[in-house]
Amino acid sequence: MRKKVTVVGAGNVGATVAMRVAEKGLADVVLVDIIEGVPAGKALDLAEAAPIEKHDSRLTGITGDYNEAKDSDIVIITAGIPRKPGMSRDDLLATNMGIMSSVVKEIAAVAPNSILIIVSNPLDAMCHMALDTSGFANNRVIGMAGILDSARFRAFIAMELDVSVENTHAFVLGGHGDTMVPLPRYSTVAGIPITELMSSERIDALVERTRNGGAEIVGLLKTGSAYYAPASAAVEMAETILKDKKKILPCAVYLEGEYGIKDLFIGVPVKLGENGVEDIIQIKLTDDEQKALNNSAEAVKTLVDDMKRLGG
């Protein structure tokens, strides 16, 4: 049976996810959006590119009706709105909670065995909403954040040292935002820790740039946010699951005591395979790193508490 990936949200991130899943030949793709015509138009455009890109993935765009998503293997949820001028943090959270709840109810009804990859922001809070709404097991709701943040750190390391990005490896833990925790000790170039290749001042500068990676792009674009790298990160997760690759990747997952954190979605290294999260890898942290991770967890907990206050 052919694999199926449903992408909810046909904006820049969702459409790019659909394109990359199809062009890698990973699965047939169903693109869903609430705006009439947009998902169908983008799906058709991508289908017309297939003869040139040389793939046979089937692309379908739908509005409102989730029946085409039936029995999806993976559902990648990018739906949500960005914060607009004059909008309070509570307004943004309440709006995206409503969107996530509505989407997940539809998906759980037609694809009860799917694995959910959450991309919508605020990421960690939306993972909680998806888990609670779906009733899925913890291993089947996963947030995309750490791969994106780690990719940004890797890109900056490669730029700094003028080396291939393929030689770089990096880990960024914690929540997706200002409190993320890049780990220079576990970040390497061809196996060499970056702490041996550049000064602590340069490492600190790259860590800070990584934390502000999304904001830097928003500042340059003026009217939008990043989508190429977020899409690539989500597709790497999907490919790892669909191919049962058992890759260890930093993802936002529900912790039940690991790293001393309980009942929260936090970014940590996990093994991904056909069952979703197959193992949570616990690495040794220094006291300062653990303190930073705890601080990140507190920021996530504040968001989750706000969500509960707003009725989530």
* Catalytic machinery residues: 176
The full DSSP string for 107-139 is HHHH-TT-EEEE--SSHHHHHHHHHHHH---GG
Q: How far apart are CA 265 and CA 135, in angstroms?
A: 15
Q: How far apart are CA 293 and CA 300, in angstroms?
A: 11
Residue 80 token pair: 């949500």
Q: How far apart are CA 143 and CA 266, in angstroms?
A: 9
Residue 102 token pair: 């509505």
Element holding 71 (H helix, E strand) = none
Nearest to 311 by CA among 98, 137, 25: 98
Q: How far apart are CA 48 and CA 35, in angstroms?
A: 21
Q: How far apart are CA 302 and CA 299, in angstroms?
A: 5
The full DSSP string for 272-300 is EETTEEEEE------HHHHHHHHHHHHHH
Q: Name the β-bridge partners of 30.
A: 6, 60
Q: How far apart are CA 247 and CA 194, in angstroms?
A: 22
Angle, alpha carbons 44-121-95 (nearest 5°): 90
